[in-house]
Chain A
Amino acid sequence: MRLMDNRKRSYGMWRVAFAALAVGIAILGGSAQAGRKSDALAPPQGGAVSLGTTDIGSMGFARASTDSNQLVRCDVMAHDDDPVNPTPGWTTIRCTFIDQNGNPAMCVSSSQAIINAVNAIGDAKLAITLKSNGDCATATVIHSSEYEPKVP
C-alpha cells in the first residue's frame, strides 16, 4: 500500500516538474519574441527601401530583404587639407538607396548637420530628401527598438 502511495506521489511530482518546465519554456520563448516589431516602411510600400519624395530605408531591413537589390549605404569620406600637418580638413558623405526593383537614388553632402545625422545611423531608419543637383537636403535618422539589426 505504502509502495503504491510512493509511486503515486512520485508520478505527481513528475507531472508538476513537467508542467513547470513547460511553463518555463513558454515564458522564455515568449520573452524572446516580445517587444514591438516594425517593418522599415509603412504599408502600402512594403519592402525595406522606398524611393520617392523622401527616400527611406534601414540597413537591417535592407540586408534582411529577400531580394538581392535592396540597399542602404552611406559613405563618409574625411580629408585632410594639408598632407604634412594635421588640419581640420573636411568631410563628405554620400548615401545610396536601391529599392526592391533595383531603382537607385543617391545624394551627397558636406553639410556638418547632415554628416552628424548620417554618422549616427547604426541600424536606425534613415530618411533622406534630395535636391535636384544631387545634394542631400535633409537626413532624418530614427532610432527605434522596432527596427531589426544587421544580422548576420
Chain B
Amino acid sequence: MRNNLLLIIIALVLAFLVGRFTAHIPGEHVAPREDPPGAVEAAQKLLDQGAADGTWSATEDAAFLEAVSKLGQESELRQLRALAQRVNGGKLKLEPVNAPQVPPPCMHVCPPANSNANRPAEGR
C-alpha cells in the first residue's frame, strides 16, 4: 500500500517535470522585444524636430519610421499615435511625397545668382 502511494507520488512528480520542460520549447515563446536604450528618445526627437515648422516631409517621415521600427511594439504604437494625433489635430501639414526638396536645375542658361533678370521692370 505504502509502495503504491510512493509510486503514484513519483509518477506525479515526473509528469509535472516532463510537462514543465516540454512546454517550454525554445523559440516558441519569446519575451516581447524591448526598446533599445535611447531609441524612444531618438524617435521622439525626430518627431519634435520634424514637426517644429508645422510640416512633415517624406524625408522626415522615412527617418521617423526607421527610428520607430527599432522600438518594441508598445513604444512603436505610442510614437505613431503621437504623429497621428498631431496630423489629425491640424498641427502638421503633410508634404507630398514627390515635393521637390531642392530647386530644380536650370534647363537652359541660368541667370547669375545676383541677377535682376527675373525682376519685373518698374514703370512698364
**A interface list, Cβ under 8 A from B:** 68-69, 71, 75, 77, 79, 81-82, 85-87, 90, 92, 94, 96, 98, 102-108, 110, 130, 133-135
Cβ-based interface call for B69 (8 A): yes
A36 to B69, CA, bound (A): 42
Apart from A81-B32, A105-B87, A134-B83, 10 more pairs, CB < 8 Å:
A75-B65, A86-B27, A92-B73, A94-B80, A98-B94, A104-B92, A106-B84, A106-B87, A106-B88, A130-B88
Cβ-based interface call for B33 (8 A): yes
Would you list 15 pairs from A and B whose C-beta atoms are within 8 A, ordered by A residue? A79-B33, A85-B26, A92-B73, A92-B80, A96-B87, A98-B94, A102-B94, A104-B87, A105-B88, A106-B87, A106-B94, A108-B81, A130-B88, A134-B85, A135-B84
Q: Which residues of B contact A130 (CB under 8 A)?
A: 84, 88
By beta carbon, the residue of chain B nearest A108 is B80
Q: Which residues of A contact B96 (CB under 8 A)?
A: 68-69, 71, 98
A108 contacts B84, CB within 8 Å?
Answer: yes
A107 to B87, CA, bound (A): 9
Q: Which residues of B contact A85 (CB under 8 A)?
A: 26-27, 30
Cβ-based interface call for B82 (8 A): yes
> Secondary structure of the A side of the interface?
strand
With contacts A85-B27, A96-B94 taken as known, whether A90 is within 8 angstroms of B85 at the C-beta atoms is: no
**Closest CB-CB distance, A1 to chain B, in whole Å?**
72
Q: Which residues of A contact B69 (CB under 8 A)?
A: 77, 79
Cβ-based interface call for B45 (8 A): no
B30 contacts A134, CB within 8 Å?
Answer: no
**Closest CB-CB distance, A68 to chain B, in whole Å?**
6
